[in-house]
Chain A
Amino acid sequence: MLRDKPVILCVDDEQIPLSLRKCVLEKLGYSVLTANSGTEALEQLQRQHVDLVLTDMLMPGLSGAELAREIKQRMPQLPIILFSGVNEIPEDANYADVFLSKVEGPARMSATISEVLSQARKLA
């Protein structure tokens, strides 16, 4: 059964938004792992299988864009969504697959995630 549920690694330095996002994603039918920093996310990726990374952009230490670059160097096939509260795409964001605004709401987030996942499956 676990294979049917895609695993999403959710990265954010703020605990409350992260836990709420985890609940929403679980309700939407995903299996969710969380990390509070880019470094922690990279560690998790070494230990566990992940189908998609949903990362915040502005974080202390590794930023979301930097994390995306690190991940793509190790796992080029792993899809990454940059998730941001800033209405602005950073110049080094091209390592991520999709840029998504935080305030689009769960429906839009869900649609984006399934689209990215289905594209990744096609490529695989």
Chain B
Amino acid sequence: MAAPGWKASPMSSKEFTKPMEDHEKVNILMVDDQPSKLLSYEVILEELGENLVKATSANEALEHLLKKDIAIVLTDVSMPDIDGFDLAEMIRQHPRFQKTAIIFISGVHLTDVDRVKGYRQGAVDYITVPVIPELLRAKVSIFAELHRKRRQLELLNQQLEHRVAERTRELKQRADLLDLATEAIMVRDAEGVIQFWNSGAEELYGWGREEVLGRKVKDVISIKPHNSHGTLQPDLFDFGRWEGNLVHSTRDGREIVVASRQALKNNGDGALGAILEINRDITATLQTEEALRRAERLAAMGRVAGIIAHEINNPLEAIINAFYLLRDHPSLNDEARRYAQLGEEELLRVAHIVRQTLGFYRESQHPISISVPEILDNVLELQSRHFQLSQIQVEKLYETEATLFGFPMELKQVFLNLIANAVQAMPNGGRLRLRVRDCVDPRTGTAGISVCIDDTGSGIDSQHAKQLFEPFFSTKAAKGTGLGLWISKGIIQKYEGSIQFRSLHLASGSATCFRVFLPGQISGKTLKSRAVASDVPGRPNGDSRAS
């Protein structure tokens, strides 16, 4: 008779997940020094269908108790050596038998009844002799049923505990899994208080779990829509889900673009329970895509410009040659020749403009990776003679390793225009300062390179400011074509960049700064170390003469 429920050692899962049958037999130990009485109890209890175990002494009874799971002890009170009460006392002392039911069989002595009542705890009953069979059966049957129920409960409890343990293990695994994810995973409650924060989130935002749990998400991360990408709240609350890109801030003040997926989780009563959110950093991916897109567009524009230039230049050459031949043709009089000469001169102007606007001599059909400092050095070398002649002191501050895609000659043209203008503004000497650094365009959030060209020259009159970038506007009278800044701006816009200027007129002299922003691959290293140095990102960092 195996009694699994009573094993003292921890159970294996198979044993306690085994379903408990409603009528599994229980063991009933009958103790009496008279075998005839045992026999009569056996007869009476047989029809209950339980296992009946007989013992003719308390010692024998104890042996059975130790070997088997006994549900009920039915004992005679008056036995030689150890009587029924002593046996009951011994049984109760053992922790395993605290709840074993004991039924005493005794004559009608008041003293016995009183002693029975002394057993306040545990299932204890008594029955008087002569034994009434129905009464004995009823009492034993109740205790047997109680025992079965208790065992069922215990088994259920064990099963429950096991399931709780398993579930806990599963949850732990799931939490470990969430920590393995490189995505930032967070849960916040209806008030926006952060309740879960995985290691992906720690990594991405720079905030540790302990630092953010219990804080409102908006106090930790600043959240902005990326581009004009829909509205977050209505979608999330109407459909329970939302997907899209957002701009988040990290602990060190960087702005990152994340692909975010959010879902509402309602409580049982339908009220908002929590918001689950998974964010993936797509800043670098977007930058790469952006650079590729820009490179493709530049290549396409280059092809178009090349075709147009070809179609215009071929007939243009023929016409220029025709006017050249006409210019001093013997059959024409002086007036006609002068017209031909004017025609040739004007055509050369057209050719010059075509060359400047429809592309410089380009080295390659395809945009290549360009280092802006290299381009600037190249231009400075071209201008070095002018610096010497005009006694201009040049300062260089190159603070980036960033590169961008494009055509070096185009950028050379931009910086040559700006630097040549600066030189011409300082005929009597001065200081030219070039500063290149990584930055983020405050208006578009695009990462790129900022180039500031400062001069201490004559400055720009505010009345000219508005027309500065217009074609054929020149302050250099006959000396300029009025195309330099217009072309420069066109090139910069082609690169999706921007150009701004500022001119200060102070008592000590004037100063002018042109700032060119060009989108490009930021050299991550430089940007991060700058951000740590508490430089406010996104601030326009041009024009800062004081810095």
A:73-110 near B, CB below 8 Å: 84-89, 91, 99, 101-106
Q: Mark B360-375, 1 if CB is under 8 A from A, else 0.
A: 1111110000000000
Q: Does B359 contact A (CB under 8 A)?
A: yes
B361 contacts A88, C-beta separation under 8 Å: yes
* Residues of chain B contacted by A89 (CB below 8 angstroms): 361-363
Q: Mark B366-403, 1 if CB is under 8 A from A, else 0.
A: 00000000000000000000000000000000000000
B310 contacts A58, C-beta separation under 8 Å: yes
Q: Select which of A14, A88, A99 is within 8 A of B306 by beta carbon.
A: A88
* Residues of chain A contacted by B325 (CB below 8 angstroms): 20, 23-24, 27
Distance in Å from the Cβ of B182 to the closest Cβ of chain A? Answer: 42
Q: Does B299 contact A (CB under 8 A)?
A: no
* Residues of chain B contacted by A85 (CB below 8 angstroms): 309-314, 316-317
* Residues of chain A contacted by B362 (CB below 8 angstroms): 87-89
Interface of B is mostly: helix
* Residues of chain A contacted by B351 (CB below 8 angstroms): 103-105
Q: Select which of B324, B354, B364, B365 is within 8 A of A103 by beta carbon.
A: B354
* Residues of chain A contacted by B358 (CB below 8 angstroms): 87
A86 contacts B317, C-beta separation under 8 Å: no
Q: Select which of A14, A87, A91, A105 is within 8 A of B324 by beta carbon.
A: A105
Distance in Å from the Cβ of B194 to the closest Cβ of chain A? Answer: 57
How many Å lie between the Cα of A16 and that of B302 in the bound state? 28
B317 contacts A88, C-beta separation under 8 Å: no
B309 contacts A20, C-beta separation under 8 Å: no
- Name the residue of chain B whose CB is nearest to the CB of A16: B318
| Given A85-B313, A86-B309, A106:B359 Cβ within 8 A | no
Distance in Å from the Cβ of B351 to the closest Cβ of chain A? Answer: 3
Q: Select which of A21, A23, A101, A106 is within 8 A of B313 by beta carbon.
A: A101
Q: Does B493 contact A (CB under 8 A)?
A: no
Q: Does B48 contact A (CB under 8 A)?
A: no
How many Å lie between the Cα of A86 and that of B325 in the bound state? 24
Distance in Å from the Cβ of B350 to the closest Cβ of chain A? Answer: 8
B306 contacts A86, C-beta separation under 8 Å: yes
- Name the residue of chain A whose CB is nearest to the CB of B358: A87
Q: Mark B448-479, 1 if CB is under 8 A from A, else 0.
A: 00000000000000000000000000000000
Distance in Å from the Cβ of A112 to the closest Cβ of chain B? Answer: 14
Q: Which of A27, A58, A88, A104 has the most CB of B within 10 A?
A: A88
B314 contacts A88, C-beta separation under 8 Å: no
How many Å lie between the Cα of A84 and that of B344 in the bound state? 19
How many Å lie between the Cα of A21 and that of B324 in the bound state? 10
- Name the residue of chain A whose CB is nearest to the CB of B364: A91
Distance in Å from the Cβ of B303 to the closest Cβ of chain A? Answer: 10
B363 contacts A20, C-beta separation under 8 Å: no
B318 contacts A103, C-beta separation under 8 Å: no
How many Å lie between the Cα of A24 and that of B321 in the bound state? 6
B309 contacts A21, C-beta separation under 8 Å: no
How many Å lie between the Cα of A24 and that of B319 in the bound state? 12
How many Å lie between the Cα of A58 and that of B313 in the bound state? 12
* Residues of chain A contacted by B365 (CB below 8 angstroms): 88, 91
Q: Does B322 contact A (CB under 8 A)?
A: yes
B313 contacts A103, C-beta separation under 8 Å: yes
* Residues of chain B contacted by A27 (CB below 8 angstroms): 324-325
- Name the residue of chain B whose CB is nearest to the CB of A90: B365
Q: Does B348 contact A (CB under 8 A)?
A: yes
* Residues of chain A contacted by B360 (CB below 8 angstroms): 87
- Name the residue of chain A whose CB is nearest to the CB of B354: A103
A23 contacts B359, C-beta separation under 8 Å: no
How many Å lie between the Cα of A86 and that of B303 in the bound state? 10
B314 contacts A102, C-beta separation under 8 Å: yes
Distance in Å from the Cβ of B232 to the closest Cβ of chain A? Answer: 48
A24 contacts B313, C-beta separation under 8 Å: no
How many Å lie between the Cα of A17 and that of B361 in the bound state? 22
* Residues of chain B contacted by A91 (CB below 8 angstroms): 364-365
| Given A23-B325, A86-B309, A87-B309, A17:B359 Cβ within 8 A | no
Q: Does B320 contact A (CB under 8 A)?
A: yes
* Residues of chain B contacted by A21 (CB below 8 angstroms): 317-318, 321
How many Å lie between the Cα of A88 and that of B355 in the bound state? 10
- Name the residue of chain B whose CB is nearest to the CB of A21: B321
A:46-67 near B, CB below 8 Å: 58
B320 contacts A101, C-beta separation under 8 Å: no
Q: Mark A1-44, 1 if CB is under 8 A from B, else 0.
A: 00000000000001011001101100100000000000000000
How many Å lie between the Cα of A31 and that of B351 in the bound state? 27
* Residues of chain A contacted by B363 (CB below 8 angstroms): 89
* Residues of chain B contacted by A88 (CB below 8 angstroms): 302, 306, 309, 359, 361-362, 365
B320 contacts A103, C-beta separation under 8 Å: yes
How many Å lie between the Cα of A58 and that of B527 in the bound state? 46
If A17-B317, A86-B310 are given as contacts, then 8 extra A-B residue pairs at C-beta distance below 8 Å, sorted by A number, are: A20-B321, A20-B322, A24-B325, A88-B302, A101-B313, A101-B361, A105-B320, A106-B320
Report 6 cross-chain contacts, Cβ distance below 8 Å, ordered by A residue.
A17-B315, A24-B321, A88-B359, A88-B361, A102-B313, A105-B348
